[in-house]
Amino acid sequence: MTLALNRIYHGDLIEIMKRFPNESFDLVFADPPYNLEKSYSAYEDNKKDKEYIEWCNQWLEQYVRVLKPSGSLFVINLPRWSYQHAVFLNRYLYFRHWIAWDALSEPRGNVMPAHYAIFYYTKSKKHFTFNNVEFSFTPNLCYRSKCIRNRPPSIKKPLSDIWTDIHRIKHKKDRDEHPCQLPVKLLERIILIASNEGDIVFDGFVGTGSTVIAAKKLNRHYVGIDIDRKYIEITEKKLKAIVSLLRLPETVAI
């Protein structure tokens, strides 16, 4: 199959990815369903633990195969599942970082699960794209309205593996009709670190499009997949809006 760039495929990611050529993408990102019984319209989010991990290993195998030799893989999940992804990925790729994204979770259980684990791997030990970008952080980030009013100015600082400055999308008005949409800013950071303009970014669980929108804004090509046509329609609408709002070119030069 010839790979169509800047397209979102509809269907099961394993079936579709099997038709992609080897070593097609510079950066691959995965934000799978977390097996938390979330209400997706086209997917049952309640597999048995063993079944869930086996399923994850099947798509991770495809992710490894389609990654270019200089490429990077990022996968986000709950720590409960992430360490199992690492058991699989350590066989094929080089581990770079376990990034803790403190997304301001709600208290649940005895130990409040406050971070998502973003595992970062590369295919090559030495030759991979890495941009050492400095980011603006707001110190003493507190979310009470009084603190927001008195917040000190942002400072530039090198990136660490604890990310505390990107909120998960909290307010209904900022969300699409999707149970677990990621903020575009999170994907912009990952894309800036691990790819260059004109590179190809892949996401097999595109949802309502945070990855492809970030890729488009940053002048990268994208390829996405989702099993739910409704999410693809939302993503395509948002892509159109962003192209016209930011006056982006329809196509990206390779």
Ligand X SMILES: C[S@@+](CC[C@H](N)C(=O)[O-])C[C@H]1O[C@@H](n2cnc3c(N)ncnc32)[C@H](O)[C@@H]1O
Radius of gyration of the chain (CA): 18
Q: Give the binding range for ligand X (CB under 6 A) out of 46-54, 77-85, 93-101, 180-188.
A: 180-188
Nearer to ligand X, 70 or 84 (CB): 84
Within residues 8-27, the interface with ligand X by CB under 6 A covers 12-13
Q: Which of 78, 100, 114, 180 binds ligand X (CB under 6 A)?
A: 180
> Is 31 among the residues that bind ligand X (CB under 6 A)?
yes
Cα gap 238→210, rounded to integer Å: 10
**Would you say 180 or 248 has its CB closer to ligand X?**
180
Task: Name the minimum Å distance from CB 74 to ligand X.
Answer: 11
- Closer residue to ligand X (CB): 24 or 210: 210
Look-up of token digits 């400055």: 165
Q: Does 43 bind ligand X (CB under 6 A)?
A: yes
* Residue 225 near ligand X by CB under 6 A: yes
Size of the site for ligand X (CB under 6 A): 22
Which window, 123-131, 148-156, 223-231, 242-250, contacts ligand X (CB under 6 A)? 223-231
Nearer to ligand X, 81 or 205 (CB): 205
Angstrom distance (rounded) from CA 79 to CA 73: 17
Q: Work out how close the CB of 251 gets to ligand X at its nearest, in angstroms, rounded to a whole number.
A: 24
Binding mask 196-215 for ligand X (x = CB under 6 A): --------xx-xx-x-----
Which residues are near ligand X by CB under 6 A?
A: 12-13, 31-33, 40, 42-43, 178, 180-182, 204-205, 207-208, 210, 225-228, 231
